[in-house]
Structure 1
């Protein structure tokens, strides 16, 4: 459709130029004819007057009568009766008439060729721009492909830009996935290496001096490996989108209480308690079990940084946009350089205590974000670290 439209425009342009050229040629030719006839009539009248001076007044009267249309023109030209034709008096006019006609035709053809050349030049320029852009893409240094006008190449340009953008995004995602895979593989190998080394040492020591202490050490390391395996499998299911998460109405206070109850033994050993403010019923759309799992990981992190005899505090609030849960401790807070990396997998801060593998907060972040939520961490003004979890209504 676009090609037909352009062809119609081009044809109309050529016809317009041709008509213009013919009009100008006709105007010039008409003006030339008028001057030629005037000159010829003047010469004839002059010759008549020279031979018959008394006929001057008669000639002038006839010319005036002819000018004002008072003369009865005979039906048959008298010159034809004496054997004279139009070509006898208009020889030069006919010659110039052919010249002007040929000039008008050549002008129309020339304008047509110039139009075609300009049109072809424009197409070549557009092809050159697209070709240079694709060459830059192949060299890996492409930018934005700017639109240069609406023409036959506009749709092609848009499709090329879409394909290139999608390929860039795919390439970036593949590079990122490759880097993440390599990093995760290194971290997993590092995490497995420690318990395997510990188990190997315990086995050697048991051969030399069997004791229950070595057996307990082996059990702890096996439990650690089992926990790592479960966490990695869960993260892989979240990444692949195969983890089934329920969407049901869950009371925030109930989730916090259940999470604290499941950690009661661990908190008791650390001599840390949990303070949960009861602020009434507030509902969120989430999966009870997995949301509780995410909050438990946050509570354990706060517990590890809370001095003995102190408390981990929990509160929550709701507005038309989201429901927010705040969990904070009374410890020394996060190191500034650790805050941007707290939710990265296998990251352990400088002040990290215990034998954690640095995957709990990453798991919490993945579970919360999979349920239309966010989690952030910051230091409080006075002291302590604070986690803010938001579940959005829409």
Structure 2
């Protein structure tokens, strides 16, 4: 029974069994005391009778015969009745029986008080310990309801009550996880809103200024055209910012289900750089896809190509005219890696650990284009599919981004 796994209940059960044994032994002891008392009383009674007979001159043979006789007769019963000794005679009028009753009652009262006291003390200790256990558990549960999970339920013993405590502890762990997740979600939402607000503030201010300039000089066609173009660029930046933030938010919330399929790496790379080759050519840069043996990757082609495209775009942003971006891949028994290497300006050691943070811009690249979300989005996409993204770089020597994916089992 699970009940006997409880240490306190086990001790109390042993106490009850010991108490029952003590009652049994007390009964035996009381019986022995009563026998001894009866024996002594009968000897005293016989001695008194013999002494009385001797004083009256009755012969010793007659006395001995009378004392040892076991015969009952009506004459004897009638004689006892004449002197007031019958079965209806009150015990207080029978000195020897009254004395025996007094002794028996004294011993019974003594044993009863001792056993009762022992039972009460044992029961009180058991119930007090249980009360302390319940109070401790109630205090911990109260802390749980107040989102304080620093304390834990008593779990040092076995038994049904401790299984209940373990279940409550497990429930508290789940509540703590949900509370932490909820808190993180709130902080993430607060941070996201703050980031979006901060990032939209500049283009919105610019739009307001452009609108005022156009409104003030409606007859200057050149001015209107110039600031209309700037307005269009600001709107595109805002749209790009909002779209990327929505993607990152959906990825962080786990609301995007990646549709994985077997994709050829060459097709994946081609899709990723299709819109960037023109820009690279116009800036005097070159995107080189190395001649690597064809491989396949189980991934969501649309999202993965976007992640690769964002990294290539970042490489273009930090590579001077005449620079090169190399894309290659290799397979090991457990991993397939896609490497994007550039010979650009590189990343300083103090910035290397922050490149995947949202809106992070190095002090050395504040004048470069971009909104600071491309690498964050790439990281969210890769990790959302169970991959790993890492970066190695040295200032003025270039950068290598590595996308690692587990191969199919």
| TM-score, normalised by the number of residues in structure 1 | 0.77
For 2:333 and 2:99, the matched residues in 1 are separated by 96
Question: Structure 1, unaligned stretches of length 5 or more?
Answer: 56-75
Tell me, yes or no, if structure 1 residue 257 matches structure 2 residue 270.
Answer: yes
1:248 is aligned to 2:261: yes
Is contact 1:256-1:295 (8 Å) kept?
yes
**8 A contact 1:22–1:104 mirrored in 2:** no
C-alpha distance 97-217 of structure 1, shift in aligned 2 (>3 A): same
**Distance apart, 1:226 and its partner CA:** 2.4
Matched, 1:186 2:194: yes
TM-score norm. by structure 2 comes to 0.74
Partners of 1:248 and 1:216 in 2: CA distance: 42
Matching of residue 150 in structure 1 with residue 164 in structure 2? no
Shift of 1:160: 3.7
Q: Could you list the per-position Cα deviations for residues 170-220 of structure 1 after superposition, in whole angstroms to 9, with x for gaps in the alignment?
A: 333333323322322232223223333333444415636322433332322
Matched, 1:104 2:118: no
1:380 and 1:386 in contact (8 A); partners too: no
Partner of 1:20: 22
Alpha-carbon distance in 2 for matches of 1:278, 1:43: 127
Cα distance in 1 for residues equivalent to 2:232 and 2:270: 30
The verdict on how the C-alpha distance between 1:193 and 1:382 changes in structure 2, with shifts beyond 3 A counting, is closer
Residue of structure 1 aligned with 2:378, choices 342, 364, 370: 364
Q: Please name the residue that 1:307 is paired with.
A: 320
**Equivalent pair of 2:4/2:159 in contact (CA under 8 Å):** no
Between stretches 357-366 and 248-257, larger displacement belongs to 248-257
1:65-105 deviation line (CA, Å, top 9, x unaligned) = xxxxxxxxxxx964768889xx9988766644443333333
What SS is found at the alignment partner of 2:349? coil
Cα 1:210–1:192 change in 2 (3 A) is: farther
Cα offset, 1:305, TM superposition: 1.7
- Unmatched 5+ stretches in structure 2: 55-59, 61-67, 81-93
Moved more, 154-163 or 225-234: 154-163
**Residue from 203, 207, 218 that aligns with 2:218:** 207
The change in CA–CA distance for 1:317 and 1:95 in structure 2 (over 3 A counts) is farther
Aligned match of 1:383: 397
Q: Superposed, which structure 2 residues align to 1:258-337 within 5 Å?
A: 258-337=271-350
Shift, 1:117, TM fit = 0.7
RMSD: 4.2
| 1: CA distance, partners of 2:245 / 2:5 | 61
The 1:80/1:12 distance shift into structure 2, 3 A limit, reads farther
How many Å separate the matches in 2 of 1:159 and 1:331? 57
Does residue 196 (structure 1) correspond to residue 204 (structure 2)? The answer is yes
- Residues 383 and 26 (structure 1 numbering): CA distance in 2 closer, same or farther, change over 3 Å? same
CA distance in 1, matches of 2:358, 2:263: 28
